[in-house]
Amino acid sequence: MKVQTFFSLLALTSMLACSDNIKNNTLPQTTFLYNFESDMEGWKVAYSDYPVDSTQHSIYELDKKHTSLPTNLTPNTKGIMVTGHNRSDDLFMYLKRQLIGLKPNQTYQFSFKVTLASQYPLNSVGIGGSPGASVYLKGGANQEEPTNKVATDNFLRNTWDIGSQSNAGSNTVLLGTIGIDGDEVVYKRIQRSNTAKFTAKTDANGKIWVCVGTDSGYEGKTTLYYDSIEIIAQEI
């Protein structure tokens, strides 16, 4: 994992709109880059929106591992494979880790850039929704670690407000879908990033939890390979 800290002139209109107080200022930003070539680099895989009852877990086919990307991809790098069968019509499969080294109690604007391998055409049709167009990639940040809590429906729901499918929550921002171009079901690298602003505040030690994951409206099995994750934290 590479971490780069540098200063850049705030020039984009979308950035200027964050606050009148930062107009024409030079603000620091920190870049966290993970390429998963050697290992998972501190990221953990987790799941939400599935039953508490462990006897039902097998039908969700949840699995994860650090492995090579599909052999048809060049270069054939390594990444994190995440898979699951969306029996609940709302399965959230995500990666999480804690970032350190930021300023304490500081509000940052976060930009996510995720490269992953997907095999699901954007225009495909499936159970409950499209395998490509109805699986939404999200990124988020919060002081508290995202975990599960038992909801009144006896499902394990995320402690973060992740929103619902295409709708972002207060702790996440939408990065796009996992849909690929064309009609062929074959793994391709895609890159997704957020266009909407997303802000969060670090804790008293300059730490914050981040996550990247998919919120699915497709009631079938999805298998993705995360090739790299870049997160830029810009002070505001």
Domain 40-227 has CATH 1.10.600: no
* pLDDT of res. 149: 98
* pLDDT of res. 1: 62
CA angle in degrees (0–180, nearest 5) for 55-57-62: 160
Low-confidence ranges of the chain (pLDDT < 70): 1-26
Residue pair 158/204 in contact (Cβ under 8 Å)? The answer is: no
* pLDDT of res. 27: 85
CB atoms within 10 A of CB 74: 8
Q: Where are the domains of the chain?
A: 40-227
* pLDDT of res. 172: 98
- pTM beyond cutoff 0.85: yes
Helices within the chain (DSSP H only) = 13-16
* pLDDT of res. 24: 41
CA distance 149 to 172: 18
